Structure 1
Amino acid sequence: MWPSRTRTETVTCLACGTERPRDEAREYDKHGDRWDRDDKTFEHLCKSCHRDLCHHPRDELEALLVDLEAGGTDRERFLSRYLQTVEERYGALEESER
């Protein structure tokens, strides 16, 4: 039987930690493929945090994180290496105006 559409599901934003009704949030799939729903559990972002995300494709991100040993080194060293590698591969980084 299908769940009732009148039931309000509450989700927690993975970025800021606030709880919101499901219809006030956006699904987040860390693999960037939210349309393939087989055997997936989605995390959620509130609309404000979702707007603040960079929505550029991240096709090579997982491989880059593995190359840089993400999680295997301290944060400061990782971020330094990440910024350097991204600039070498893709050019200078720019901040967008909000």
Structure 2
Amino acid sequence: MWPSRSRTETVTCLACGDQITRSMAREYDKHGDRWDRKHKAFEYLCKPCHTDLCHYPRTDLEEVLVESGAGDTDEATFLSTYLQTVEERYGKLEEES
């Protein structure tokens, strides 16, 4: 028998931090494979934050973020590592004039 799909569970939007009911949230998988549900814990976005996201392909973004220590290091260390990783993979960044 299937488990109850009662959606009164409360989750936290990872973008804005609001507490929302699961039925009002969108699943987010930082590895980009939300369909493979085996042994997976999802994070959630509220509908407004999900709508505000860029829905273009993000190729290696999540991999680069994890590799750069996003959420595991202080901001300065993360930004330095992120910039170095991006430049190693894609070349020197150029500012638009």
TM range (shorter): 0.5 to 0.7
Number of equivalenced pairs: 92
- Give 3-state SS (helix, strand or coil) of 1:26's partner: strand
Q: Give the alignment's Cα RMSD to 1 decimal.
A: 3.3
CA offsets 1:22-54 (integer angstroms, 9 cap, x no match): 111000000011011111000100001111112
The equivalent residue for 2:24 is: 24
CA offsets 1:42-77 (integer angstroms, 9 cap, x no match): 0100001111112122222214763xx445876357
Change (3 A) 1:43 1:65: closer
Change (3 A) 1:3 1:65: closer
Give the share of equivalent positions with the same residue, in percent: 65
Measure, in 1, the Cα distance between the counterparts of 2:66 and 2:94. Answer: 19
Structure 2 unmatched ranges of 5 or more: none
The equivalent residue for 1:12 is: 12
Q: TM-score, normalised by structure 2?
A: 0.65
The equivalent residue for 2:50 is: 50
Structure 1 unmatched ranges of 5 or more: none
Q: TM-score, normalised by structure 1?
A: 0.64
